[in-house]
Structure 1
Amino acid sequence: MTQASAVEVRLPGTDAFTTLLADVAVGAKDRDLNDENPFDQVTALKRAGFGVLRLPPELGGPGLTVRELFSAVIDVARADPIVAHIFRTHFWFVEERLRTVSEPASQRWLAEAAAGKIFGNAFSEKGPLAVGSLVFNTRLLPADGGLFRLNGEKYYSTGTLFSDYLTVAATTDHDSVASVIVPTDRTGVSVVDDWDGFGQRRTGTGTTVFENVVVTPEEILVDTPYDAPPTPTVQYTSLQLYIHAVVAGVLASVVDDGVALLRSRARSFSHALAESPVDDPLYQKLLGELASTASIARAAVLDAAEAIAAANDSAVNGIPDAELATAAQLRAAEVKVHLDAVAPEAATRLLELGGASAASRARNLDRHWRNIRTITLHNPVAHKARVIGEHLLHHTPIPANTYF
């Protein structure tokens, strides 16, 4: 686990933040090629206050809007989508605490975030239980002295390897779902770096094991009955839109590499339209199409971020207006449906700017497709598209789970 030091915020849009991103970008291609964890880059972002961007000034942050945050996430993903993805659960956790900022528990954890601590996740499990059902084999049970014990095994724990605290979903002894916060280095917590995906390989998306882990009452944030009626929410919409912000950042990087690739070519084909590839109108057209895809991806993500902000602003006692919440959920889902269709294709077409030489392992241009395709697999696009269509036809409620 990386240790956070004093936070010195570098605001997005400043020369200091631009320099930070340039430092993160250096070696990103080779880290992917060599399968290296970006510990130094994550630590640099923590020290630069990336994790506190949404905190208001009175809580130690600059108080960026939702749109400004997602713009910064896209920029970090442009530098290195591995590093950007690691912070995904952290920002969801911060948003949840801001939603309930008047509660002492939220204030306690926001203070930890302000100090530079990062919160990872331990939600998903393997097995026959339906994904998104909020029923878990991981158990939180009472123990002596008013304490609790946590036991279970989680998978796809993105960011955990780099985090200071873990947010854990568990079933209680009275068949409710609890959200628990425990330090990553607590006795009984094992973080296993065993994610073997072909993309987003060094995001720390591995197995997390909890063996008789002590949990105090203060570390239990939520204890919700399974049969509790759903309420309007966008608490998971930001979590889903974050994925698409990473994709938008990768698409921007595709354009960067496309420009560099064309400029690096010294020759073309004898039957080409220009002697130099950079002057060939067909290559220029293709590059322009890639740039357009990246630009629209960014705009779509930021538009959905505005919808989330509108829902947040309407909240009363942490619960947003139902219509605004639904609009935000649908907007984020629409972004996914669109990007899933165009982003992998853009990453593939990048290679056409270089011909066979673009397949060089040293160039590692295939990482863009691998990263995009892996990110888009986080939830099936067919189900998202169906929900959008069904809602348009019948005003069917959006599924009340973590995927919307």
Structure 2
Amino acid sequence: MPGRAWLAGEGREQSVRDALAELRSTSADRDRRSTSDREAVNRLKRLGFGALRFPDTDGTPALDLPEAMSVVMDVAAADSSIAHAFRSHFGFLEGLLLTPASEARSTWLQRIAAGQTCGSAVTERATARPMEIESTLRPDGDGYTIDTEKYYTTGTLYADWLFLMARSEDRSLQLVTIPTLREGVELLDDFDGIGQRASASGGVRFTGVHIRKSEVEPLEDLPEVNRYRSSLQQLYLAALLAGIASAALEDARSFVLKRARSAAHGHADQPRNDLFVQQIIGRIAARATIARAGVLSAAAKLDRTFEALRRGDSLGDLLVEGAVEVAKIHSIVAELVVTSGDLVLETGGGSAVSRSTALDRHWRNARTIAAHSPMYYKSQVVGDAILNDTPPPTNGYF
């Protein structure tokens, strides 16, 4: 089974270890060059990273959510940008898991089993608020034509397929799914963020793209599934942050152990024996441990929501409780990991900020992910839920 193949199978464990080691060893160079890396993504595809939750014959995912998020954190510890590139695909597969059996569902599962991935093209920069859609499908012969530009299309540069949201002539929202190699689709490697530089979070330009009627469907109003998927997508961001915390710890440890010279007023001849350096490493380690444990705890809670949805059981307060739990964990993990990125630079004074070390990338990566969903809003929503039983908004950020 594709999901289990990541964890088991002849020679598979060694292949996974080798892939993560290669990803980790090339991470700093990718960041310095600010470039995408198709081969790194394709290697993870071949190993089944995009199919961790692939369903068994009875619909049970190969890995439960805590297991899947554990793998995501491991990949993010090797390179958070490359792990980030799979986020939209994970959400897409999760939607399929909660979709009734159909020919279309079977086709998509076959594609995913073969290692194909689906990216997103939803956000438009020119609208007043995020998630507002103005792109319009124009009737054209036996289908439609679209001219538009989307941004923050994380991972779509690497994907085989993409889904985009657009409006029909009557202004109703439509979901369009097409190959990324369709004529007129231009995948732009133009993300200019300070961090997550290889995540391919830039734009996609559509110029006279022809879309078949069979590739268009009305956007279904599935409030329960959409609430769950939104929470999962936020949990994925928290998992990326937890992976960064682990990477920051490993790089800080390696940096200190390689240093021979202490600070002029240090407490020991070697940095590894300096009391303050030891304290800093301990603080980074504590943050990494808490971040990982928090993500796994929230994943376990969200997994109960998923199973209730899959079985058609009564949800009760599971959806809201899951959303609040993820928001709590996400907000504190972001705070801890951004601070970890800062602490890494305290381990070596001036030498720690040399571009050759690339130690600053952990702070930049964490800060970039944390900015994706402003944490002060997260904390306010959590507080409102605790004080007034107000459910989180259903806007895709909770």
Aligned twin of 2:385 = 391
Query: In the alignment, is residue 336 of structure 1 matched against residue 336 of structure 2?
Result: no
How far apart, CA to CA, are the structure 1 residues paired with 2:51 and 2:282? Answer: 35
* Cα distance in 2 for residues equivalent to 1:319 and 1:237: 19
Q: Report what 1:26 is aligned to.
A: 25
SS at match of 1:204: coil
Amino acid aligned to 1:30: D
Aligned in 2, Cα 1:320/1:15: closer, same or farther, shift over 3 Å? farther
Equivalent residue number for residue 93 of structure 2? 94
Length-normalised TM-score, structure 1:
0.91
Q: 2:255: which partner in 1? A: 261
CA spacing shift, 1:359–1:229, aligned 2, 3 Å? closer
Alignment root-mean-square deviation, CA: 2.4
Give yes or no for the alignment of 1:140 onto 2:137. yes
Q: Which residue of 2 aligns with 1:190?
A: 186
Moved more, 200-209 or 156-165: 200-209
Q: Does 1:402 align with 2:370?
A: no
Deviation of the 1:215 alpha carbon: 2.2
Q: Which amino acid aligns with 1:183?
A: P
Counterparts of residues 60-79 of structure 1 (less than 5 Å)? 63-79=62-78
Contact 1:277–1:283 (CA under 8 A) maintained in structure 2: yes
Which secondary structure does the structure 1 equivalent of 2:177 belong to?
Answer: strand
Hey, what does 2:303 align to over in structure 1? 309
The answer on 1:243 being equivalent to 2:237 is yes
Shift of 1:171: 1.6
Shift of 1:78: 0.5
> 1:3 is matched with which residue?
none
**What's the secondary structure of 1:156's corresponding residue?**
coil
1:60: Cα distance to partner?
A: 12
Partner deviation per Cα, 1:121-150 (whole Å, 9 max, x = no partner): 101111233224xx41111344322x2333
Are 1:10 and 2:6 an aligned pair?
yes
Change (3 A) 1:30 1:316: closer
Sort the Cα spacing of 1:58 and 1:16 in 2 relative to 1 into closer, same or farther, 3 A: farther
Change (3 A) 1:221 1:352: same
Q: Distance in 2 between matches of 1:385 and 1:270?
A: 42
After TM superposition, give the deviation of residue 156 of structure 1 in Å. 0.9
Equivalent pair of 2:4/2:63 in contact (CA under 8 Å) = no
Q: Give 1:106-185 correspondences, 5 Å limit.
A: 106-132=105-131, 135-145=132-142, 147-185=143-181
The alignment partner of 1:170 has SS state of strand
Number of aligned pairs? 393
In 2, distance between residues paired with 1:176 and 1:271? Answer: 67
Per the alignment, in what secondary structure is the counterpart of residue 388 of structure 1? helix
Alpha-carbon distance in structure 2 between the residues aligned to 1:45 and 1:264: 31
Q: CA deviation at 1:270?
A: 4.8
* In 1: Cα distance, 2:301 partner to 2:175 partner: 26
User: What runs of 5+ residues in structure 1 fail to find an aligned partner?
Assistant: 1-5
**How far did 1:221 drift?**
4.6
Alpha-carbon spacing, 1:365–1:320, altered in 2? closer, same or farther (3 Å): farther
Moved more, 292-301 or 274-283: 274-283
| Alignment check: 8 A CA contact 1:99 1:318 kept | no
Q: Aligned letter for 2:41? A: V
Q: Which residue of 1 aligns with 2:102?
A: 103
Cα deviation for residue 353 of structure 1 reads 0.9
Deviations 1:201-259, CA, capped at 9 Å, x for gaps: 121111112223222333235424xxx69446301111111111111111100000111
* CA distance in 2: counterparts of 1:378 and 1:305, whole angstroms: 20
- Matching residue's letter, 1:116: G
Please give the secondary structure, in 2, of the residue aligned with 1:169: strand
